Amino acid sequence: MSQRSVIAGKQGRTGRLTLNRPEALHALNSDMVPLITDALLAWEGDEDVDLVVVDHAEGTRGFCAGGDVRMLAESGKGSGREAVEFFAAEYRLNTLIKEYDKPYVSLLDGVTMGGGVGISVNGQIRIATANTIFAMPESGIGLFPDVGGGWFLPRLEGAIGMWLALTGARLKGKDVLAAGIATHFVEDASGIAEALCAKGLAALEGFETSARISGYQHLSEMEACFSKGAVEDIMAALDAGSDWAKAQSDVLAAKSPLSLKIAHRQLTEGAQLRDFRENMMMEYRIANRLVRTQNFIEGVRAVLIDRDNSPKWDPQDLEAVSETLVDSFFAPLGEDELAFIQQRDA
């Protein structure tokens, strides 16, 4: 297998992108984003390409496990410029995928988290398999559910999106379809990418397109608790609920208080937006600032570097996260934001 981090090429009338960083479960880095972007831009205007298929190298258990979080934290300790440039390029790619003129098919076979969600869920056709593990775990490292999370999460049924965003809960296999994240389900991914390249969208015939989520008995309580107007109210409702609800409260208690409040507002505002680009602008504002905070740097240290899983959050509890502080992450950026807009529309 080639050592290129993304293998891009045409197979028949299909443009195929294969993620190829198996040592990192194909997590996106600064090299991969422009490779994917350039290929998509070239194929969008190519009359010999009818659709795009995105998969990952065979023999690995991840579709795409996220982004280069360690790089983001190292950058955040300094000027933050490398991190901000990565976010800008990644969010422009997310926007390109969302607005793509041709069918964009992603094969979510294995771990699909963070940045991997951005290059799949924003596309037209998302195929889950029995191996799919979907999550947005950012609140556990002091980040937030970006890459379009403010758009697609609040548009899931009931309060599933808020539950996923705040708890970082994992959905597996057919539940990814049942939640509305995937559009199709097939047990085994073997040969699917090749079939799509050979037959086009006709290869999807017979795939499941609807399912009932496991644990459905908790959906009404989930909606009652996670639809509250403040994180504190969500916690109170969970603490007064069933054993399942109390378990969710315990999960939230370990997350970054700042991330929880930012994510709650992100999804609340995102639900009201009418344009995906407005959402990505909101997320760029948040990312630009949050990546430079000690809160995020500490989360990465505790979870990914030292692995003691005992982050000292700053602020340390929900009560210390003021509305003024949360507001500061959503305010316009000025010249940095203008540069992001100009590059995005170039």
- List the pLDDT tens digit at each of the 346 positions of the chain: 448 999 999 999 999 999 999 988 999 999 999 999 999 999 999 999 999 999 999 877 889 999 889 999 999 999 999 999 999 999 999 999 999 999 999 999 999 999 999 999 999 999 999 999 999 999 999 999 999 999 999 999 999 999 999 999 999 999 999 999 999 999 999 999 999 999 999 999 999 998 888 777 899 999 999 999 999 999 999 999 999 999 999 999 999 999 999 999 999 999 999 999 999 999 999 999 999 999 999 999 999 999 999 999 999 999 999 999 999 999 998 877 766 666 656 5
Report how many domains make up the chain.
Answer: 1
User: For residue 58, what pLDDT is reported?
Assistant: 83
d(CA 209, CA 174): 10
Pairing relationship of beta strands 171-172 and 133-135 according to DSSP bridges: antiparallel
What are the residue numbers of the active site? 67, 115, 138, 146
| Per-residue model confidence (pLDDT) at position 342 | 63
Residue 113 DSSP class: E
Q: Please give the C-alpha separations between residue 220 and each of 123, 159, 184, 190, 255, in angstroms, as whole numbers.
A: 29, 9, 25, 36, 23
Q: β-strands 111-113, 184-185: how paired? A: unpaired
Q: How far apart are CA 54 and CA 135, in angstroms?
A: 19
Q: What is residue 343's predicted lDDT score, i.e. its pLDDT?
A: 63
Q: What residues does 185 pair with on adjacent strands?
A: 128, 208
How high is the pLDDT of residue 213? 81
Q: What's the pLDDT at 334?
A: 80
Q: Which residues of 72-83 are buried (b: 16+ CB within 10 A; e: fewer)?
A: bbebbeeebebb
Distance CA 152, CA 127 (A): 16
Q: What is the pLDDT of residue 1?
A: 43
Residue 104: CATH number of its domain: 3.90.226.10
Triad 259, 235, 266: Cα angle to 5°: 35
User: Which tokens go with 12?
Assistant: 């028949």
The boundaries of the domain holding residue 229 are: 1-346
Task: Tell how strand 133-135 and strand 104-108 pair up.
Answer: unpaired
User: Dihedrals φ, ψ of 55, to 5°?
Assistant: -140, -165
